């Protein structure tokens, strides 16, 4: 049986797997391929992975049309991304970044499967927004090589990667993943493995408070979002941002914060819960706090 050496250096990472070809996984695959990595992109089926790749190519094509990216560079980035049928296709990866739906049972199952498919010495990161990295690491045979790599939405635009160490993560793994993130053009902050880490612990109460204000009729969605944009200089208002993130994801993170920190200030508003129950999960569903057309442009509230 092949054995792993103690740790790899950034120059030894060549092939990056991404599990989840939706808005976060697709964005991460784009960032990794742009940084020069060979990317294996997987989702629940080959068809979904291929659709994810098509969305990335469409995004890169827009950049070419705007004159911000050369056509041959776009082609080279696209060629580096290979859609694969399933997790077994991660066998040659040096690092896999999991970006599946925010559900602990699902992620535990996927972590076990990826761990089995990966070669010894490969690294396993998760883009989870709130789930315990320590718990996910414990589900694998390589807990010292497991880490949180929390990209922000949309990953190609946002500069931060919040790195979260599991209790088991070694210093060498942390240093390697920091270097890989920097090679991807990102600035790194680090957080302990605590519910919501740092960014979502700050963000989610803000998004929920905007939703409580809407629920109570204090203002319209436009009043709330314009207040944050023009009054606080935020690029997007909290309701627009919640729609971009996905209301199902916002609710899932809220529930983890509320349960694990045990403070009622993290409880989710009934309005948010109802929108999710209706399937109105935000921009990706065509409807959330606002209604969107097929191109994702806001058409009404």
Q: Residues in the site for ligand CAA, rule: CB under 6 A?
A: 27, 59, 62, 66, 68, 129, 152-154, 156-158, 199-200, 203, 235-236, 241, 245
- Which CB atom, from 117 or from 132, has the smaller least distance to ligand CAA? 132
- Which CB atom, from 59 or from 103, has the smaller least distance to ligand CAA? 59
Contact 241, 211 (CB under 8 A): no
Nearest distance from C-beta of residue 143 to ligand CAA, angstroms: 23
Structure tokens at 121: 């010495």
Contact 290, 298 (CB under 8 A): yes
Nearest distance from C-beta of residue 110 to ligand CAA, angstroms: 18
CA distance 113 to 238: 36
Contact 112, 143 (CB under 8 A): no
- For 21, list phi and psi in degrees, rounded to 5: -110, 20
Of residues 21, 29, 37, 22, the one with CA closest to residue 179 = 37
- Which CB atom, from 62 or from 192, has the smaller least distance to ligand CAA? 62
Contact 83, 21 (CB under 8 A): yes
Tokens 């659709």 label which residue?
A: 51
Structure tokens at 126: 């998760």
Contact 149, 161 (CB under 8 A): yes
Task: Give the torsion through C-alpha atoms of 284, 290, 291, 295, to 10 deg.
Answer: -50
Nearest distance from C-beta of residue 154 to ligand CAA, angstroms: 3
- Which CB atom, from 71 or from 157, has the smaller least distance to ligand CAA? 157
Nearest distance from C-beta of residue 125 to ligand CAA, angstroms: 14
- Which CB atom, from 94 or from 243, has the smaller least distance to ligand CAA? 243
Residues facing residue 147 across a β-bridge: 125, 165
Nearest distance from C-beta of residue 4 to ligand CAA, angstroms: 30
Nearest distance from C-beta of residue 196 to ligand CAA, angstroms: 9
Residues facing residue 151 across a β-bridge: 161
- Which CB atom, from 5 or from 68, has the smaller least distance to ligand CAA? 68
Tokens 């082609």 label which residue?
A: 75
Q: Is 6 exposed, middle or buried (0-12, 13-18, 19+ CB in 10 A)?
A: exposed
User: Which residues are known catalytic residues?
Assistant: 129, 150, 162, 200
């Amino acid at each position: 049986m092949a054995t792993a050496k103690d740790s790899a250096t950034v120059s030894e990472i060549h092939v990056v797997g991404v599990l989840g070809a939706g808005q976060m996984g697709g964005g991460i695959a784009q960032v990794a391929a742009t940084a020069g990595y060979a990317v294996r992109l997987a989702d629940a089926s080959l068809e979904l992975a291929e659709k994810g790749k098509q969305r990335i190519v469409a995004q890169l094509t827009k950049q070419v049309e705007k004159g911000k990216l050369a056509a041959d560079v776009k082609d080279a980035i696209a060629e580096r991304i290979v859609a694969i049928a399933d997790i077994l296709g991660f066998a040659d990866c040096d690092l896999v970044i999991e970006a599946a739906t925010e559900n602990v049972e699902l992620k535990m199952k996927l972590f076990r499967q990826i761990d089995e498919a990966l070669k010894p010495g490969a690294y396993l990161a998760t883009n989870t927004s709130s789930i315990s990295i320590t718990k996910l690491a414990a589900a694998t045979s390589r807990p010292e090589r497991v880490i949180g790599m929390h990209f922000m939405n949309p990953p190609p635009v946002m500069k931060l990667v919040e790195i979260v160490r599991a209790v088991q993560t070694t210093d060498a793994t942390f240093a390697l993943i920091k270097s890989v993130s920097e090679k991807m053009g990102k600035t790194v902050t680090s957080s302990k493995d605590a519910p919501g880490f740092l960014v979502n612990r700050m963000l989610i109460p803000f998004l929920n408070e905007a939703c409580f204000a809407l629920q109570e009729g204090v203002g319209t969605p436009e009043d709330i979002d314009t207040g944050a944009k023009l009054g606080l200089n935020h690029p997007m208002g909290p309701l627009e941002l919640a729609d971009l993130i996905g209301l199902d994801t916002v609710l899932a993170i809220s529930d983890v914060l509320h349960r694990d920190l045990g403070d009622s200030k993290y409880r989710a508003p009934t309005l948010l819960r109802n929108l999710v129950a209706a399937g109105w999960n935000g921009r990706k569903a065509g409807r959330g706090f606002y209604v969107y057309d097929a191109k994702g442009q806001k058409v009404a509230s």
